[in-house]
Amino acid sequence: MTELLSNYLGGRWQAGTGAGAGTALLDPVLGTELVRVDATGLDLAAGFDFAREQGGAALRALTYRERAALLSAALKVLQANRDAYYDIATANSGTVKNDSAVDIDGALFTLGSYAKLGDALGDKRFMLDGDMARLGKEPLFQSQHVLTPTRGVALFINAFNFPAWGLWEKAAPALLSGVPVIIKPATATAWLTQRMVKDVVDADIFPPGALSVVCGSSAGLMDQLQPFDVVSFTGSADTAAVIRSHPAVVQRSVRVNIEADSLNSAVLLPGEAADSPAFDLLVKEVAREMTVKSGQKCTAIRRVFVPEALYAAVAQALSARLAKTTVGNPRNDTVRMGALVSRSQLAAVREGLAHLAGQAEVLHDSSQQALVDADPTIACCVGPTLLGTRDARGSDSADRVHDTEVFGPVATLIPYRDTAHALALVRRGQGSLVTSLYGSDAAALAAAALDLADSHGRVHVISPDVAQLQTGHGNVMPQSLHGGPGRAGGGEELGGLRALNFYHRRSAMQASTAVLAHLQTPA
C-alpha cells in the first residue's frame, strides 16, 4: 500500500484512523496512485486549542524582526529541498517545469519578501495606525490607533491549483503577524503542501503549535473556530457561501477572507493596428495565460476584448500561437503544457466548454489533439480552446461568457464597438481579481484603468515601454493586492504590509500624550 501522509496538529504528527486507509492522490497523467491522506479521528478541538494557547503565545512573545528571522530560516530549508518539490509537482499536479516554478518559486519569493518586510518593522510587537488625534482643544488627551496580533488561530482552506504558493502567501503574513496557522490543503494536491510543512517542522524552526497541517476531509474544522480566530478560503463560490453561512462566522463573528470565482479579462484599447507592439503583447500574454498550469489559475485570462475591426486578426494570431502548444506528459522535454489535476476537473472543463459553445463559435480547438507520451483514456490532458462571439452585437447577448468560468485552457474572444462598450462588457464579469489593458496611449490607458479599478483587485497595464519589465497578467506579486470585489469573493491578500491587517485587531487608545508617547518606542 502507498504511504499514508501524516497530519501535524497539536504539536505532533498524527495519522488518520479511517477504516478505508484514506483518500488516494493520483498522478493525473499516468493514473497511478502516489500517496494517501486521511484526517479521520483527529482531536480537532485539542489541536486548535494547542495552536491558540501554545503557538500563539510563543509567536506573540517575539518581535516582528524575530518572526521575520523564522521566515528566513524556513525559506532556507525550503530552498534546500526545492528539487523534491518539483518532483512532487510533476507527479501530483501534472505540471511542466516552468509551470511548477510559478507555484514553487513563487512561494519561495513571497516567503522571502515577507521576511524582508518583517525585518524592516524592527523590534516591535504591535504597529501604530496613523497619527495621534486630539480629543479636545489642548493636545493633552488624544487618540492613537494601534494594531495588535489577534489572539486566535488562522485556518487556511486552500485550493488545488497552488499547493505551494497558496500555503506560503497566506502563512507568511500570518506568522509574521504573530498568529499560528492551520492549513487544510485541497485533497487532490495535498502532497506538496504536506511535504513543505513537514520539512519546516522537522527543522524545528517555529514554536510548537505555530504551524499545523490537516490533510483529508475538512469536516469539523470550521466548528472549532472561536471569536478571535480568522479563516481564509480560496475556491469555489458555492463553498465560499457555505463558509460565510457557518455559525462560526454568523454567530461568533470570525473574520473571513474569500477568494472565489473570477472571469478575468484582457482589453486591447482602440487605436492599435494588427502589426502594432500592443497587439503583439496582447496575443502573447493571452496565449501564455491560457496555457500556464493548463489554465488552472484563478488569475488566468478568460475573456479577451478587442476592437471589432481586429477580431479576425486577433483570432488568427492567437490560434497560430496556441497551435504550437504541445500537450501531454510533463516528463517529456517537448511538452509545453501538462495535465489538469484530476478526471473530475477534466469533466468540468469539457462540460463548461460545451456550455460556452452554445453561444460562441470555436476559433481554435486543440482539445482533441494527439498527446505526447500520454494515454488519452487515462491522462487528464486537454489542449487549449479559443472561442469567440463573432460580432459586437453577439458580445451583448452572449451572457454565458460573462457568467461562466471554465477552469482550464479556455478563453473567449469578444469584439466591442468603442471604449465605453468595452468597459461595460468587462464589468459584466461582476468583479474580478485582475484585468489587463494593452495599448500605447498613456492617457487612454490611465483613464480606462481608473474606470475599472473599483471592480478589480488589480489592474495590470501593459504598454510597449514596459514590455520587458511587466510581471505578467497572472503573476501575483507580494507587493500588490490579491483579491477582488463581487463574484471574486470580496477578499484581500498580500499587498505588502497590508496583508498583516487581516491578522491584527485595530483599537483606539485614548490617553494623555505622555502615555501615548510610550507607544512610539519598541515594545
Quick: pLDDT tens for 213-259.
Answer: 999 888 999 999 999 999 999 999 999 999 999 999 999 999 999 99
Mean pLDDT of 351-358: 95
Per-residue pLDDT at 142 exceeds 60: yes
pLDDT tens-digit readout, 392-443: 777 788 999 999 999 999 999 999 999 999 999 999 999 999 999 999 999 9
Residue 372: DSSP 8-state:
B
Per-residue pLDDT at 522 exceeds 70: no
Assign domain 4-260+492-520 to its CATH superfamily.
Answer: Aldehyde Dehydrogenase; Chain A, domain 1 (3.40.605.10)
pLDDT tens-digit readout, 35-87: 999 999 999 999 999 999 999 999 999 999 999 999 999 999 999 999 999 99
**Quick one: pLDDT at residue 394?**
73
Q: What is the C-alpha to C-alpha distance for residues 427 and 382, in angstroms, rounded to an integer?
A: 29
Q: What is the mean pLDDT of the chain?
A: 96
**Cβ-contact 282, 422 below 8 angstroms:** no
**Quick one: pLDDT at residue 523?**
55
Mean pLDDT of 106-119: 98
Closest by CA position to 185, among listed 206, 166, 209, 208: 166
Amino acid at 380: C
Tell me the three state secondary structure of residue 133: strand
394: Cα within 13 Å, side-chain hemisphere: 19
pLDDT tens-digit readout, 355-368: 999 999 999 998 77
Closest by CA position to 336, among listed 95, 112, 149: 95
Tell me the three state secondary structure of residue 176: helix
- Fold category of 265-477 in CATH: Aldehyde Dehydrogenase; Chain A, domain 2 (3.40.309)
**Quick one: pLDDT at residue 21?**
79
Using DSSP bridges, classify how beta strands 211-213 and 432-438 pair: parallel, antiparallel or unpaired. Answer: unpaired
Per-residue pLDDT at 1 exceeds 70: no
Closest by CA position to 10, among listed 52, 71, 40, 41: 52
pLDDT tens-digit readout, 163-185: 999 999 999 999 999 999 999 99
**Cβ-contact 323, 431 below 8 angstroms:** no
What's the grid cell of residue 1?
A: 500500500
Mean pLDDT of 180-200: 98
CATH topology match: 4-260+492-520 vs 265-477 = no
- Rg over alpha carbons for the chain, rounded to the nearest Å, is 24
Per-residue pLDDT at 26 exceeds 90: yes
**Quick one: pLDDT at residue 54?**
97
pLDDT tens-digit readout, 294-337: 999 999 999 999 999 999 999 999 999 999 999 999 999 999 99
Catalytic residues: 259, 298
**Cβ-contact 218, 23 below 8 angstroms:** no
Q: What is the C-alpha to C-alpha distance for residues 376 and 514, in angstroms, rounded to an integer?
A: 73
| CB proximity list for 168: less than 8 A, separation 6 or greater | 107, 108, 110, 111, 196
